[in-house]
Structure 1
Amino acid sequence: MIQMQKGQKLKLTDLAPDGRFRVSVSAALPEGEADVTCFGVDGAGKLSDDRYFVFYNQTRTPEGAVEMTQSSGTTEFSIDLHRLPAFVQKLVVTVALDGGVTMRKLTRSLLTIKGEREQAEYTFDGDGFQEEKAIILCELYRREELWRCAVVASGFNGGLSALLAHFGGEEVRPAEPAPPVPKVNLSKISLKKSGESHKIDLSKNAGRIHVNLNWDRGRPGLFKTGGDVDLDLACMYRLKNGTQGVIQALGRSFGSASDMPYIRLDGDDRSGAALNGENMDFFRPELIDFAVVFAYIYDGVPNWRSTNARVVLSQEGAPDIEILIDNARSNARFCVLASLTGRDGGLEVRREERFFNGHREVDQHYGFGFRWVAGRK
């Protein structure tokens, strides 16, 4: 048994080498109840996907990496770190009080982290607090490829609203007499580093995933100048039935919305003058086994840094996923922006940011095995 103190840190591998453990919180009060929650936050410390806010009204994350149960005044989270998506860099366990009660009223309360190998405990009560109505009790976080735990035990006088605001959300209170229901505003998920990923839960998706490519325009004028550049959006795909192909303006392979492969490229912005850039839709994303979304410089000087290229994947009822190629130094004409992998009823979107000199190099790197001939728009 490890007895933890405020501010203490420990490696979770010392408790649970397999990455699976339980976190339980018993917050004792003479009156009223405590709401115990778990926030899954990104590298910026923000709740960028509200499906990773686990509380009494949403008791599990989409893939089941965090599941919450309540019994006899104790809230327990069953956690499997290996199932968490890469964008979740920290799990934050919090306690919030409603009404006029503050943390000073807490009697002997207990935080327990129990793994296969060892158990750690932290005992707390009202002597350590003043007028706080919400506290961050502990944080489980990634650092240098290892997960660690830290006891924080400090918080906010403003209660749940202040706690949500700290993580980038807000509390929405419906009209009385219904009780307040915390809800987090949807915001963009930015994949900022190569290899970062986010999983789309297709069971909650309306069916279509829209991809938009946009970039900084060249110098305005009637004729093209050296500053103009024409980016083309494209993808290579493999479906779960083994069908594979390429969707691109080159060769006029625009695809289809109503027939296989249910991927459609909407025209070709050859000048870069269209304000909405280039667009592609995946109408049946559940059919995707693996795909790469890429852009290539069809015309103009191959200087990615000057294009400020950005791609946004949007879906109804969920945050947009944004990838911004804003610091690229490569002079290669092709950039694979993202990969899409069908897995466990979802679609994992991963930032690639890999540069190539042609279609064949892209194909060889990702192993599609196409036969290539010259094409033109």
Structure 2
Amino acid sequence: MSQSLVAGANAPLPTQPISVRILSNAPIDCAAYRLASTGKVRGDGDMVFYGQKRSDDGSVSFRGHDSDGYFDIDLAAQPSAIEKIALAFSNDKPLAQIGDVEIQVIAGNQQLLSATLPAVGREEKAIILAECYRRQGAWKFRFIAQGFNGGLKPLSEHFGVEIADDAPSQANQNHTQNTSQNVNQNAGQNSAPTPPPIPSAAPSSINLNKISLTKSQSSINLKKRDNFGKIAVNLNWNQQGDTGNQNSSPAPKKGLLSDLFSQHLSKGQNIDLDVGAMVHLANGEKTLIQALGDRFGQLNAPPYVCLRADDRTGQNKTGEWLDINGAQWANIKEVFIFAFIYQGVPNWAKTDGAVTIHVPEQPPIETRLTEGAGNLPMCAIARLVNQNGSINVERINRYFAGHQEMDQAFGWGFQWKRGRK
């Protein structure tokens, strides 16, 4: 039975990992801050939000978006220097205009705690909603509901996070298709073996801006640089289903795969989404990167694009990652990013997939894969095009019956054959 808390109340937390869910009727920006005894973060790696979805050690991670955000927290794995984990949210409108906000604490399939923040009379644009804190060797949860003047930036700076102010310039919103010359290659040929995971260095400062590519804002241009660093492309989708436990809370309105995912859980199957890329180098060579056919690529040699690993289980909460060597951007003409449903009934709206492109010292660039109609399993997502040294990111979001149909639509000219993982 879930326990309901009022402001200032606390309750014990279990030793097992927990999930903290924040719900709102309007889009809000959620953030978690791991705090030392000073009440400040030890570094930027202690802040977790849409632009940095994992703490530096991975023991706190963020999933979800807009009005339905989750933080997965392994309390037992927290460093000894961490005394609190503050959970907060912000909006560009005061709370009174966005409505009540609810927070839930979930362990396994059971909702343990809940609390509701009433919106009436609240003019703050940022709220420190709750905290997990240590007390005599154990962890407890406190509902705080403390208002904070300003938005996410001053709130983060209050906790000691260094915030970057620069954002990239906006480009025109025109969308263009690939018109590359055809080059025949065997798309089923194996390439280099899977490389080891590549660690991501913590940024020197946090950028709170986020760019969402939509039909009305379909492209963004990142100005020319000598070295763009490691560009990380993340494909993530909702991976937790409703098990039907009678002690758990009712199925949420969004953020889970609901009936689609439950159908595959009942068969012992997860939905397997795969991210891949077609790479056109400046010397004319074209290469395919995807797990199917073990074409994982290379980061420090042509094609300078590498798939980190294939999440065949669907249990990796960070999804799948594709890395691009931004130091070699001058040798890359285009990276064409796509995703396909390898296993499971194609239903993009219910998988609620999202692709986020992380470029060092730039805001994350996100596009959502929720517009696919019918049963088409292949989605052409975006292009990263070299325009005189700059990176022009163009949203595509078109759906196809398979690799060959997508190839023909954009004129890449690969030769395709069936394959298995």
Give the TM-score taking structure 2 as reference length. 0.44
Q: Report the structure number with the largest CA radius of gyration.
A: 1
Give the TM-score taking structure 1 as reference length. 0.49
